[in-house]
Amino acid sequence: MTESSSPKITAVIPAFNEENTIGRIVEETRKYVTEVVVVDDGSTDTTRNVALSAGATVLTHSINMGYGDALATGFEYVKNNGANIMVILDGDGQHDPADIARLAAPIISGQADIVLGSRFISNGSKKDIPAYRRFGLGIVNKAWNMSSTSENVTDTQCGFRAYSRNAIDKIDIQEAGMSASLEILDQAGKSNLRLMEVPVKVGYEGDTSTYKPSRHGMELVNYVLKKLREEHPLLIFGGVGLVTSSIGLVFGIIAINGYFDSRYLPFGPTIVAGILIYVGTLMIFGGLILNSIQSIAAKLEDKRLRK
């Protein structure tokens, strides 16, 4: 890595109605970075004015577009401002700006392209996470690691992250909502960007998040399912087809037993069995075909990248 001994670090803070905390966060963050950029995602309070008064550069969305779009705006700005490192942190006070140096260090030393803050490794703040969040995060983390072919990540949802210039240039966020956090990990794996996790402590006093956990969770689940459908079609279509066909066989056995008892095939179980077995078989063959297409596409993409 060619980062200088004093790299230019830009901190990007997505913010939506954070007037009570954004001023303090900007002032604290300015101690550790070259520039602080606040992406005001359509706030209806004084977030923009407070951030400007605290010394931040403010990029404004006229309406609330979502966390992913706010990140995309921050990435686009940093791609053009010459920063060596970009750090993302929240504007609600959950992240401690003093940890910025810890996140930036592996990039400066050339060990990583993306550094993820983690609440789940030694010296992190796992024990401080509310129980319902810890449960939900555990499910998302496991689901992601099962669906992803890249290295395992202990904390897929911590918004405290640092990016090298290489990562800044390669990441292209398309997801509008909170699923952008997974999209970035997905793109990192495909671009062979090196990931590293460092422990961070996250505060939850007052539970300041402006994002509903249920909506957040559904966005993440939808993204994982979309990834599985696109990259592992045999697992999704074949698995569902196998289950459907198996249920159909159960109804078929019921129909056959009914025939032996009465010498008549029971209409209901027979029809259900036929439909389920037919649909299940189609899904299995569909999964096999889509899996073959996906494998061919992956090989062609690999050849293209090697040229």
pLDDT digits (tens, 9 = 90+) for 9-39: 999 999 999 999 999 999 999 999 999 999 9
Q: What is the pLDDT of residue 209?
A: 54
**Which position has the higher pLDDT, 301 or 90?**
90
Average pLDDT over residues 241-262: 89
| Closest by CA position to 94, among listed 46, 62, 129 | 129
Q: Are 196 and 115 in contact (CB under 8 A)?
A: yes
Between 305 and 178, where is the model more confident?
178
Instruction: Please name the fold of domain 9-230.
Output: Spore Coat Polysaccharide Biosynthesis Protein SpsA; Chain A (3.90.550)
pLDDT score of 2: 46
pLDDT value for 283: 81
Question: What length does the chain have?
Answer: 307
Please say whether the beta carbons of 23 and 48 come within 8 A: no
d(CA 75, CA 83): 11
CB 14 within 8 A of CB 43: no
Task: Show the CA angle centred on residue 221, arms to residues 190 and 92, nearest 5°.
Answer: 90
For residue 3, is pLDDT > 50?
Answer: no
> Which of 161-170, 244-253, 268-277, 292-301 tops mean pLDDT?
161-170
How would residue 221 be classed by pLDDT, with cut points 50, 70 and 90? low
Confidence (pLDDT) at 143: 76
Helix (H), strand (E), coil (C) string for 249-302 = HHHHHHHHHHHHHHCCCCHHHHHHHHHHHHHHHHHHHHHHHHHHHHHHHHHHHH
Model pTM? 0.72
Q: In whole angstroms, give the CA distance from residue 74 to residue 35.
A: 12
Look at residue 304 in the predicted model and tell me its pLDDT. 59
Q: What's the rounded mean pLDDT across residues 100-127?
A: 90
Average pLDDT for residues 225-234, to the nearest whole number?
67
Average pLDDT, integer, range 48-74? 96
Rounded to an integer, what distance in angstroms lies between the CA atom of residue 242 and that of residue 166?
Answer: 43
- Averaged pLDDT score across all residues of the chain: 85
Question: For the ranges 102-116, 166-180, 226-240, which has the lowest average pLDDT?
Answer: 226-240
220 versus 159: the higher-pLDDT residue is: 159
Please say whether the dihedral angle defined by the alpha carbons of residues 149, 152, 156 and 161, taken in this order, is positive or negative: negative
Q: Which residue has the tokens 């010394």?
A: 55
Cα–Cα distance list, 97 to 4, 28, 79, 102, 103 (Å): 21, 6, 22, 10, 10
pLDDT, residue 226, reads 67
Asked whether 26 and 36 are in contact (CB, 8 A), the reply is yes
Q: Is the dihedral of CA 238, 240, 243, 245 positive or negative?
A: negative
